[in-house]
Structure 1
Amino acid sequence: MIPDITTALEAILGTWAESEGVPVAWENIQFEPPTDGLYLISHDMPARPYSIDLAGECRVYPGVYQVSVVAPAGNGKAQARTLARRVAELFMENEEIPGDGFSAWVTSPPAIYPGVPDGVSFTVPVSINYRADISA
């Protein structure tokens, strides 16, 4: 079984973002970013799975889930940083990520990186490390 960790992560973010009225750009889905407000971009970056036993029956599926908080350029960084902290609070260290037939866990505190300006927007990346251990 290969766990669908992306769907589990997106479910957590999506439920929260919908309740907060924060738009999210999901991978490979048409999205029109707001021109005057904040929004999120969701990316899952799974790493190569590996086995932790000699029989190859227990596999670890690690990765990084990145949520980028995007704000219009020229409005300062406070709002974007505040929203980034709220996103990080959704994925606290050791938090369980329930999935379809598996559980994954956040393996370290989420990292909030410095904002990156590009002239049009100001983006604050939030990275969440995770792993799922699956026994065959």
Structure 2
Amino acid sequence: MSHTHIAALLEARLGEWADSHNIPVAWENLAMDPPEGMYLQAYAMPATTTTIDLAESLHVLPGVWQVNVVAPAGNGTDPARELADQIAALFPVGLALTEGNLTCYIHTPPTVYRGIPSDTRYVIPVSMSYRADITTN
């Protein structure tokens, strides 16, 4: 198991939710024509894998999961903030996502950051840390 599997777990949860709410998602390294309305961008950003036991068999795979809420500029902040709060609620601290023998935990409460304006878009980042522990023996 690897950071690739962790990203797949996180993306699956977001993708299912976004599909059920009819919200487009710009997935990493996939072409997408940005819609006129709001959409999401998702990134799993792995950190260095470490070991924490003397046998070096317990591997810790940490990282940051970030979902950007992207809204058209000039429409105020309320719709984007509401969507950012929904994304934060979708990934509460302690959430466990499991596939086979891999369980990924949301390790910190999601943080909804200040919006970043541009000429055409207003982006609100929502970030949280994740962690998975894997025994290799």
Alignment TM-score, normalising by the size of structure 2: 0.95
Whole-Å Cα distance in 2 between the matches of residues 30 and 57 of structure 1?
39
The equivalent of 1:10 in structure 2 is 11
Whole-Å Cα distance in 1 between the matches of residues 72 and 106 of structure 2?
30
Whole-Å Cα distance in 1 between the matches of residues 77 and 111 of structure 2?
17
What root-mean-square deviation, in Å, do the aligned CA atoms of Structure 1 and Structure 2 show?
Answer: 0.9
The equivalent of 2:65 in structure 1 is 65
Query: 1:28 and 2:29 equivalent?
Result: yes
The equivalent of 1:130 in structure 2 is 130
Percent identity, please.
46
2:31 is aligned with what amino acid? Q
The SS at the match of 1:11 is helix
| Paired residue total | 135
Q: Deviations over 1:1-52 (max 9, x none)?
A: 42510000000000000000000000011111112x1000011100001000
What are the ranges of 5 or more consecutive residues in structure 2 without an aligned counterpart?
Answer: none
The SS at the match of 1:125 is strand
Whole-Å Cα distance in 2 between the matches of residues 100 and 19 of structure 1?
25
Q: Which runs of 4+ in 1 moved over 2 A?
A: none
Matches within 5 A, 1:1-136: 1-3=1-3, 4-35=5-36, 37-136=37-136
Alignment TM-score, normalising by the size of structure 1: 0.96
